[in-house]
Amino acid sequence: MAAPFGQPETQKRAAIYARVSTTEQAEEGYSIDEQIRVLNEYCEQHDYIVYEQYVDRGISGKNITGRPAVQRLLQDAELKKFDVVFVWKMNRLARKSLDLMTIVDRLNSKNIAFRSYTESYETETSSGKLQFQMMAAIAEYERNNIAENVKMGMIARAKEGRWNGGQVLGYDIVETPSMNKKRKDTHLVINEKEANLIRLIFDLYTTGNGYRSIANYTNKKGYLTKKGKTFSLAAIKTIVTNPVYAGLIRYNVRRDWNEKRRNNINPEPIIQQGQHEPIISMEIWEIAKNVFESRAGKPNRVHDGEFPLTGIMRCPVCNAGMVIGRTTNRTKDGTKKVLEYYVCGAWKNKGTMVCRSNGVRTDYADPFVLDKLQRLMRSDKLIKDLVNKVNSRNESTFAPLQREYDIYEKQVIDLEQKLSKTFDAYTDELISKAMYLDKARQLEEQIRQLKEHMEPLRKQVEGNTVENVSYEVIKGVLSNFLVAFKKSLTREQRKRLFHLLIHKISIGEDRKIESIQLMLNDEILKALNIEADNLSNDELSASFSILIAI
């Protein structure tokens, strides 16, 4: 029986928040539908009106910024759309005690209560707050302690030459009997068909072929990664630098992975003779290492900080972000001339089997976009026409946004169905737990990325968060943008300004720019120091966000 929350004196509006990652569901048996059912049932029994259910399915609780439902809940809380937030357990809202207390403080500042169904405390009194903070700190300590024990166990396994990771091309993961009932032991067994591909990749690499050449070759031949995808340059690099193929176990390559995504390489990872059979000889591995080290001092990566449209300009064929590519031509007098293009990122990363270059000259695109913004800023008539266009919800502006949102939504639904089928396969014992967790993490990350793209579009297709956008706002943004752009000292600063203001640049099959979508939201207003006097009360809401096509 759940601990009582206390009867509401008058009927109040309740927000229900529920979350579970597929990993937690596999480990602990959490059910997100059961959380929702129990909380709805409680609200009905105790005369609460459920304003809305905020649900993050298949999403980890490590970081609240990556959870769309939490962000929506906080935005609605700012507008006081409900009186109390119910969760099944407090770690559903946040794992870290600091995050949890920050959220609860924000709720309390709007006189919104926070209640946990399975934990008996309330946050409206001083003693209740103290109890809540102590419980949150203890819960985080226990989670951290468990994480440390798990890591120590995995390090011990690695030092014994046993495999800790998930799926790896060239091997199958086979479960073996273990005394540990909670964790099944696994070892690597060569998958001969995949191993032949690994040997081919190492042969190509050690005879002078680069990542792009190998990716193009393998993709043209129809080879796929372990996850059924085409090969990228990064995938090829991962293979030729992985000592597992030489019979070695490498572990703890990255430190503090949950907190840091870059610049956290461990200079002294664990390298141990493995208990598995190697696919390549040690001689081939040493040659591959020498090739990698000889090329390491000669990076061919194009630094794109000086090219502000990378990422926001989209390929007209596959919609991938455009990145920088360079070609070298010779003039009639024999001198070399370097030409720079925005090219399809999928093509550059995975080769011609995925897409084509669709190159757009940087010396055309960069001035075109800046000139478009300058001409718009200088013309009061253009700005007024744009304001009228936005406020009248012109079909030519919002129909493409709706189509784009629908595409993302279908992809999310498909991925969630795959996630559900994968979990069913695990519970039916058709796949191993290690295989399930590896696939689930991959699908969860894809869903998270898609939902990040969908959020600004959702606000627009469901209706702007402001009833009308004013002339002063658009004029202020454009004017301040150009001033800030001219004052920027570095190319990286200019690129950041472009990425703050511009949501997407579409190009046609003729490789000419067709449309530019501007994003007006809190972030750009703060970055450009737009005065509050220029905004109405509605426009100052925490959820201010609007897309404008110019």
**How does DSSP assign 9-22, residue by residue?**
SS--EEEEEEEE-H
| Residues whose CB falls within 8 Å of the CB of residue 498, separated by 6 or more in sequence, listed in order | 308, 309, 312, 369
Whole-number Å distance between alpha carbons of 142 and 149? 11
Which of 127, 139, 41, 45 has the alpha carbon at shortest distance from 90? 139
Helix (H) or strand (E) holding 345: helix 345-350
Crossing angle for the helix pair 471-487 and 362-378, to the nearest 10 degrees: 130
Cβ atoms of residues 322 and 311 within 8 Å: yes
Q: Can you say whether the dihedral through the CA atoms of 89, 95, 97, 98 is positive or negative?
A: negative
* Strands, E assignment, 150-284: 171-176, 185-190, 248-251, 270-273
Residues 6 or more apart whose Cβ sits within 8 Å of residue 269: 250, 251, 252, 253
Of the residues 21, 60, 97, 232, which is catalytic?
21
Q: Who contacts 421 (Cβ-Cβ below 8 Å, separation ≥6)?
A: none
Residue linked to tokens 């809940």: 73
Distance CA 197, CA 205 (A): 12
Supply 103's token pair.
Answer: 């959220």
Distance separating alpha carbons of residues 173 and 188, to the nearest angstrom: 5
Secondary structure (3-state) at 264: coil
Question: Could you count the other beta carbons within 10 Å of the beta carbon of residue 344?
Answer: 27
Distance CA 123, CA 112 (A): 10
Q: What is the CA radius of gyration of the chain?
A: 27
**Alpha-carbon span 185 to 166, nearest angstrom:** 12
C-alpha 72/C-alpha 258 separation (Å) is 24
Q: Are 184 and 27 in contact (CB under 8 A)?
A: no
Tokens 């696939």: give the residue. Answer: 439
Q: At what angle do helices 433-461 and 68-78 cross, to 10 degrees?
A: 40
DSSP class of 330: E
Judging by DSSP bridges, how do beta strands 185-190 and 113-116 pair with one another?
unpaired
Cα–Cα distance for residue pair 324/333, rounded to 1 Å: 27
Q: Are 123 and 129 in contact (CB under 8 A)?
A: yes
Question: Which 8-state DSSP code applies to residue 284?
Answer: H
Q: Are strands 502-507 and 313-314 parallel, antiparallel or unpaired?
A: parallel
Known active-site residue 126 = no
Name residue 184's amino acid.
K
Give catalytic residues, as residue numbers.
21
